Amino acid sequence: MLFLFYTLIVFCIIGSIIAIEARNILASVISAGVVGMGLSILFLFLGAPDIAITQVVVEIIVLIILIRSTVSLDNTAITKHRDTFAILSSLIFFGLFLVFAFMAFQGLPKFGEPLMSVSSQYLQNSVSETGASNIVMGILLDYRAYDTLGEATVIFTAILSAFVVLRAKGKKKREERDKIRVGIPGKDDLPETVAEIDEESESVSNI
Amino acid sequence: MEGMTFIVKTITRLLIAVIFSFGIYITVYGHLTPGGGFAGGIMLACGLILLTLAFGKKTALGKLSDFWASLLDNLGAFTFWSIAMLGYVGGYFFFNFLEKSDPFQIFSSGTVLVNNLAIAIKVFASIFAVFLALTIFGRFVSGLISTEDEE
């Protein structure tokens, strides 16, 4: 069993390295999806089917949305050369992080032996107190429903801001529509100086 | 022709009911089996996104327009919050005020089922709204989704 875990973890690490290093955006999106699938299999073997189901479904939807929004972009390949200083500094800081993480994780309890007694309380009383035979749901929507409310608020705020930023039609009237449309404008569409922008708005308002 | 090829359309027509019923099953049985409102809602959104990709944006927006998607999103969040506030009837925020019966029954866990339904509606509408915002709004429009109201 432990061998399977290590294989899957190495698989996920290789997938994420490919996702970072690939020059094509589509290829890196697909390898990020591979990492998520490996993670969901890992959750399944660790005995957490709830998280495995959610991981699979979220991974699929993220893959679809990312592919749909990257495929239609013109510039999908990175042409810039790499910065040596950035790579060196990130490697040094990553090494420092690994050293300190190793020192910090020495003090954690062993895997599967929790230090706290709260979880055993949940396991004993969940079915009689909440009535939900799926203990995960009982904790998520009864004992810890405040957390779920916070998560719902996060999603709500994200959708609200996406709708405000990405909407197709502005709240202005049709005649005074900006020349720059929502999205990534082409080079010819952009006015070059401030004076030009003023000129345009004046001519629009004159009409 | 709007949308994808004939093969994709036929397969979608066969599969769409299965996807939707599985999403509803995962939501409603969330307190008995693995799953829950979040996963079920994303499955429902997946079904609608499949409909958008296969049949074009006109069909999918006819089923659920962006206005109704944002309205459902608000409605789900509001329902969840009002169930939490109704807990003050019994004493405190998020009090499980509905009657609890034997475990392994559908109506066995009081507010957990209603909360699951509210979260499913909310996640379904909001994920579909994100998909609309990222692909149909603005300039991210390609051949698969028709562009007839571009000027």
Binding-face residues of B in 66-125 toward A, CB within 8 A: 66, 70, 73-74, 76-77, 80-81, 84, 93-94, 96, 100-101, 103-104, 108-112, 115-116, 119, 122-123
The answer to whether residue B147 is domain-embedded is: no
Top-confidence residue, A180 or A69: A69
The answer to whether residue B101 is domain-embedded is: yes
- A3-7, A108-112, B28-32, B67-71: the lowest-pLDDT one: A108-112
Cβ of A142 within 8 Å of Cβ of B94? The answer is yes
Residue in A72, A130, A182 nearest the CB of B112:
A130
The answer to whether residue B109 is domain-embedded is: yes
Q: How confident is the model at residue B48 (pLDDT cuts 50, 70, 90)?
A: very high
What are the sequence ranges of the domains in chain A? 1-72, 116-175
Shortest distance, CA B64 to any CA of chain A (angstroms): 16
pLDDT tens readout for residues B84-129: 999 888 888 888 888 887 878 888 888 889 999 999 999 999 999 8
Domain ranges, residue B93? 6-135
The answer to whether residue B129 is domain-embedded is: yes
The answer to whether residue B1 is domain-embedded is: no
ipTM for this model: 0.81
Give chain B's domain count: 1
- The answer, for A71 touching chain B at a CB cutoff of 8 Å, is yes
pLDDT tens readout for residues A165-189: 876 555 555 555 555 445 555 555 5
Which residue type does A94 have?
A: F
Does position B142 have pLDDT exceeding 50, yes or no? no
